[in-house]
Amino acid sequence: MEINQYLGLIDQELLTNISLESISPFDPIIVKNSSKTWETVGSGNYAAVFFHKAQPEWVVKVYGRNPEGLKKELDVYKKLGNHKAFSTLYGYGDQFLILKRLEGITLFNALVQGIYIPETVIQDIDNGLNYAKSVCLNPYDIHGKNVVMNNGRGYIVDISDFYKDGYCGKWDDLKKAYYKIYKPFVGKYHPPIPFMVVDGIRKGYRVYKKLKRKIN
């Protein structure tokens, strides 16, 4: 499918058949999708992602709020260019980005489902983040819900905060937990871990980081 034809499908079949509702800036937006040809992949705090059944290897990230965020994410993708750890930008519009689809399971869901996370995934993410730094970007907000793995390789699916200043220790903390706890004690044979437990750890980590910032 040519990009111009795809852009037409976005205007005619996607944007006219979806609504994105925001309840809280801290929770994913609520997506209503009545299209028969576009399927919802998922949603974040500012945008939702869709794919067309005739072109499943591409996705469209539609911003429901924060248009400035779209412009900044567009700039980040232009700086990244092509790198195997990230998606590829194919096109864009006033409300959306057209990106290469990165399939896989998030590290968060891998824990919940009891799927082993190999060290190659961690190494791939490190390589990608080092590359981002080399093109003058600041990897920010990298955590277990926006890193996916597929066939033992790791990919970063959300780079929307790479324009921010300052240090974000989420990935460094996740790596420490991987090498100090996961790899030696959990390893290849861990059972599925209940969602409430994994999500409780995630929320507890957020509270801990907030308290630490206040103390410092």
When the pLDDT of each residue in the chain is averaged and rounded to a whole number, the result is 91
Do residue 114 and residue 88 come from a single domain? no
Question: What is the reported pLDDT for 114?
Answer: 94
* pLDDT, tens digit, 9 for 90 and up, residues 124-168: 999 999 999 999 999 999 999 999 999 999 999 999 899 999 999
Indicate which CATH number applies to the domain containing 194: 1.10.510
What pLDDT, on the 0 to 100 scale, is given for residue 216? 63
Any long-range contacts for 1-10 (C-beta under 8 Å, 24+ apart)?
1/54, 1/55, 3/90, 3/91, 3/98, 6/52, 6/55, 6/58, 6/91, 6/98, 7/91, 7/93, 7/98, 9/37, 9/52, 10/60, 10/93, 10/96, 10/98
Res 212 pLDDT > 90: no
Average pLDDT of 59-69? Answer: 86
pLDDT winner (highest mean) among 26-30, 77-81, 210-214: 77-81
Point out the domain boundary residue: 57, 83, 100: 100
Residue 41, pLDDT score: 92
Q: Are residues 130 and 66 in the same domain?
A: no
The predicted pLDDT at position 25 comes to: 67
What's the mean pLDDT in 178-207? 88
128 and 177 co-located in one domain: yes
b or e along 86-114 (b: 16 or more beta carbons within 10 Å of the residue's beta carbon)?
A: bbbbeebeebbbbbebeebebbbbbbbee
| pLDDT at 1 (0 to 100) | 79
Burial class (CB in 10 A: 0-12, 13-18, 19+), 118: middle
Q: Quick one: average pLDDT of 47-52?
A: 94
Query: Which of 100, 128, 155 delimits the end of a domain?
Result: 100
Please say if the pLDDT value at position 48 is more than 80. yes
Using 50, 70 and 90 to split pLDDT, how confident is the model at 99? very high
Which among 82, 100, 118 is the end of a domain? 100
Regarding whether 85 and 127 lie in a shared domain, the answer is: no
How many separate domains does the chain show?
A: 2
Q: What's the domain range around 190?
A: 105-215
* pLDDT tens for each residue of 3-37: 989 999 999 999 999 999 887 766 778 999 999 99
The pTM for the full model equals 0.86
Domain at 42, CATH number: 3.30.200.20
125 and 82 part of one domain: no
